[in-house]
Amino acid sequence: MDRAFDFLHVNERESKPREKGITEIRGPYYDPMGPRELRDILDTMGEYVDIYKFSGGSFALMPEEAVEELIAVCHEYDVQVSTGGFVENVLVRDHDKVEQYVEEAGNLGFDIVEISSGFVAIDTDDLVALTEMVQQKGLKAKPEINVQFGAGGASSVEELESEAAIDPASAIREAQRHLDAGAYKIMVESEGITERVREWRTDVAFEIANEVGVENCVFEAADPEVFEWYIKNFGPEVNLFVDNSQIVELECMRSGLWGKKSSWGRITSFDPE
């Protein structure tokens, strides 16, 4: 990339396709997003975006041509496209159409199927079978793990507190089984760790990173304070999922160009070559 002000220092980043320092961004969810807006985002910051994620089953409300066009724009900029965590809705409401859902994702051009389970009670064996099936269909499986039942929605702190928390050790064992089955990455939901909690459970984030491998995880970072914490503790190459409105701030922080009071001038990298 012919970067403006290329005489100014930035931390070195792997070129795409990256295995670390992945940035996944949210697509249509809080508001609509069409191909013109997406192209504007990727024209300016596409070098730093690795995955584009539809959220909340938004693709099921859109014209098929619009979904295909959004996917085509992403592929033009070497950005992979994820279904987001909608499969649990299919499991509950269209149980006999799960395989068809995965096949249709492949037909439309999706690259990644996220295997979510925040709202459903389901055996780990069944979730791992989904990971295997997605890969058999030629797509990448990206299972999510949770430490809070009800993760993945807009539930309040009080609503989540009424549900039992999940033992992080159980979530870690599930993640390891998915990786053994060939999963691409593990999505780590923020609810119960840094979102919808009265106090952050940073010990859980450390436990997951240490046991699953920070390189195997994509951590949901719901706001700048959260992704700053992840970068300060796991380095600028930690894999993060953010809203599309946060790409610039995140990349400025990863690159060492800018930061907040506690991170400004402290984020760096080292290339031994």
Q: What residue ranges of the chain have pLDDT lower than 50?
A: 162
Residues in the chain: 273
Instruction: Judge contact between 216 and 224, C-beta under 8 A.
Output: no
Q: Which residues of 89-114 are buried (b: 16+ CB within 10 A; e: fewer)?
A: bbbeeeeeeeeebbeebeeeebbbbb
- pLDDT score recorded for residue 196: 75
- Cα radius of gyration rounded to whole Å, the chain: 18
**pLDDT tens digits for range 5-33:** 999 999 988 999 999 999 999 998 888 99
- pLDDT score recorded for residue 163: 60
- pLDDT score recorded for residue 226: 96
Residues 6+ apart with CB under 8 A from 58: 27, 28, 29, 84
- Residue 248 half-sphere exposure toward CB, CA atoms < 13 A: 6
Residue with tokens 């928390």: 165
